[in-house]
Structures are given as structure tokens and as C-alpha cells.
Amino acid sequence: PDGRIRPRDIKYGKILDLGEEETFKFICIADPHFGAKYENLEYLERVYEYARNNGINYIVVLGDLIEGNCFDYSRCLPQYKSINSQVEHVLSDYCYDSNIKNIILLGNHDFSAYTKEGIDISGQLSTRKDFSIIGYREAYIKIRDEYITLKHDVYKIVSWISNPGTKRNLIGHSHQYRVMYNDDSIMMKVPTLSDVYAGEEYVINKGFVVCEVKFDDFGMYYIDTEYIDLERDETIKFKRTF
């Protein structure tokens, strides 16, 4: 944004290979915005409580883990008006359970640390043994020979286009829950895990999504999701077979 050119050392499109599992069950969250005035760590505690009670060992995080410097720290709590303080906040205050692994894609607020201050937060975050940082903007989870696409764009371009090569597309950034699908794929926008507010005219959904994906010798054949709405104490279920 200031006209300087930075080297291309930020990694996109990383593939996390989870092997030959027949079933992959996980919770998907997005946009917790650690350090922002509208963060709500109680929501994350409820995610972990659900995971423990239901034997879920993976949480997929779809970007904007920290508030970053998108708005020159104007939307941050006073004690978190630096990138390092926000990262330390995550390392110290993000819930921990030795049985739960967090697969973390980083988004535009996380990327603002790099574009504005030259700080790539992925290295610092990787010091937590329960965090698997898989890069910025877009990455993939591979199971057998199938891929699940994770998205959270870091630029002001359309980020809700599905990847034609994958059946399952999970997208952060919009702060909304939406499901769109056709004969070949499913695209799901994942709601925010914060109390962000954008005005009366903008719909915000607060909650998380529980996902189960099943595989056989022919690939991904079954998807089951349940959206847990933390504001209205209700759920929305979606199932699909291929």
C-alpha cells in the first residue's frame, strides 16, 4: 500500500496430507479477530467444549486469527495495538487441549501484519504444538486422492468462487453462513467467531460449523454439516452424497 515492493516469500496453496482416513470429522471456525474490540473468547471456549463432548480432534480455522493492522489498530483493544501483542495474545489465550489440533489458514487481517509492517506471523504461531499453519489465502487438506479447499482471500478480489477441482470448499472472510452447491461441489461460507458489527444493513452470523466427510475407494462420497448458531441457540443441518 505504500508503494514498496516486498519479496515473494509468502506461501500460498499449501497441501496438508491427512493420509488414508475413511472419515474426517472436524469443527470449522473463521474470523475470531484476536485483539479486536469485538473479540469474544467465550465463543472459542464453547467450540472447545463441543469438541471435547463429541470426540472431535480437529478444528479448521479459516483466517483472520488476529485483528492485525487493517485499520491502523483503530478497532483494537488498547493492550493489543501492535502485531506482536496480538500474536502473544493468541499464543497465551487461545484455548488448548492436547487432543485437539488446529489447522490454520491465515487471512487478510493476518496478512496486514506483512503488508504494512513486514511481519510474517506464521512463524511465531507455529511455536504452539497444537497449531498447524498452512499459509495465507488458500490451502488444501488432502485425504486419499481428494482435496478440501480452504479460502480466505488477502486481497480485495472475489473470494467466493469455488475451486472446480474439489468437491468441498470452505470459505472465511464474509462473517456469514451460506451454502451453495451444484452437482459437482459444495461451497460453504463459515460465520464469524466474534462480535463484529458492520451496520444494520449487513447480515452477520456468529457461530461455527461441525463437518463430517466420508471416503471410500472411489473418493469423497458423503458430507454432513451442522451450523451451530451462537446467537439464536439453533442449528442448521446440511447433508449431501456424491
pLDDT tier for residue 5 given thresholds of 50, 70 and 90: low
Burial class for 130, CB neighbours closer than 10 Å (0-12, 13-18, 19+): middle
Helix (H, G, I), strand (E, B) or coil at 233: coil
pLDDT tier for residue 4 given thresholds of 50, 70 and 90: low
Q: Is the CB of residue 53 less than 8 Å from the CB of residue 87? A: no
Cα–Cα distance measured from residue 237 to residue 175, given in angstroms and rounded to the nearest whole number: 18
Query: Does the pLDDT at position 26 exceed 50?
Result: yes
Query: Does the pLDDT at position 3 exceed 90?
Result: no
Pairing of strands 186-189, 207-216: unpaired
Residue type, 36: A
Here the contacts of 197-206 (C-beta below 8 Å, separation 24 or greater) are: 197/38, 203/176, 204/175, 204/176, 205/175, 205/176, 205/177, 205/229, 205/231, 206/43, 206/230, 206/231
Give residue-wise pLDDT tens across range 118-148.
Answer: 999 999 999 999 999 999 999 999 999 899 9
| Secondary structure (DSSP) of 141-192 | EEETTEEEEEEE-SSSS---PPPTT-SEEEE-SS-S-EEEE-SS-EEEEPPB
Q: Report, as an integer, the average pLDDT of 75-100.
A: 98
Q: Is the CB of residue 191 less than 8 Å from the CB of residue 207? A: yes
Give residue-wise pLDDT tens across range 33-48.
Answer: 999 999 999 999 999 9
pLDDT at 1: 44
pLDDT at 159: 46
